[in-house]
Structure 1
């Protein structure tokens, strides 16, 4: 039996934390009765309670007192103030931060808790997350296994060092937005060539889904899969040539770099 009334506590239940909660419930990892979340926004509280059946509060202290594992779903600039505010209430607790830019060492200075970080993304809501976790020196092997199992239930999970988390944030955390932008651009191309907007968007999204599944299941590299589609002098070759001329691949790599650097800046801003 659990010593705490709830297994999982979420301080902040916005877009990302809400997606994680939805994924855990979708995959039957736990029951709604196992989750307690604190959320200042009344509309969000009502929505989560009605939609998911979890317990809600406005008091962060209640999360610390009543849950086994505390997840921080607050904005990066609020992480350290929240931890300071909870003080010794987090003694012997595992605290897992979702925030970009705030390193484990920074958090350990202000709290006695065992600290881990998880960087995940909003597709966790449908069990398709790309997640990475890093653990501080106080975290135990049991802590790491719990988090690996939990996030493995809602998608892919890998373990990385804390100094690699900013890159994970840029690639996996921000990555869905980059992919959505690419899908939107493909759909606009279809519209430009005369397709109905909705049809074009559906085709672009399904193409991205199919290509992703193909890569994940075939064991082939992206380069090999591209060669399977391209015919010399054909339509795909013509399109790829334009992408090369417009430096599309370089722009995407630069987007990941820019997001990574912003995460590093955020860490320095919170020293």
Structure 2
């Protein structure tokens, strides 16, 4: 999976200081690995390609006592069936995109930032959150300050398919410094592939999926690097119409540019990251 695939799926956006490939590539490459591992699915994809109908998957690479490796003990609520809602940017949004009134993009960003900080500190209150990358370059951001990324010179509506929210922060704690990165956007109505077969094709990767009692569909992708380090990507497609991607891993500017990085631990585990991605306050459609 390369940057062109991501750009085709989400639309053109300006260069970000975060390496989107390092984040999104985990889940999307995992989807392709699963297709290779499952001949029946691969055959189906071949038929789709032959008919000229090509769809890109917005898979981007939860908790509360819920084991990451399986379905919660309690009976999950049925997953919300998304009804097509045309939105700008040639995408289809969740039914919440048809509701009025909605916040402006700026109002949503101002609300989401503190919600993201609170969600992280609810898992590890001893952590100190430090600013991560700048965006655009030269524009400092507060820790987990959500900002809209798009090609537009002005802010776009929340349900515009050409935009998304991003945020990052370094996490300093007694065990070292980690880094978290968030992407928030509407849960676009696009096919998502299950985890079946991924570890069989690439043993360095794991993929677990489950549905929470609230009806949120959650995937957890982990890639294990030499030396014991790993990156964890949690993708929560939520019943409230929001998709949240939460990533723990070294996505710092230093790492991307081959320089020594202060990131030396994974400050949050998969269960904690899943709790953050499904936090009720981290929503684009507050009630």
TM-score > 0.5 by shorter chain: no
- Whose helix proportion is higher, 1 or 2? 1
- Whose strand proportion is higher, 1 or 2? 2
In the superposition, the TM-score normalised over structure 1's length comes to 0.26
Q: Which has the larger radius of gyration?
A: 1
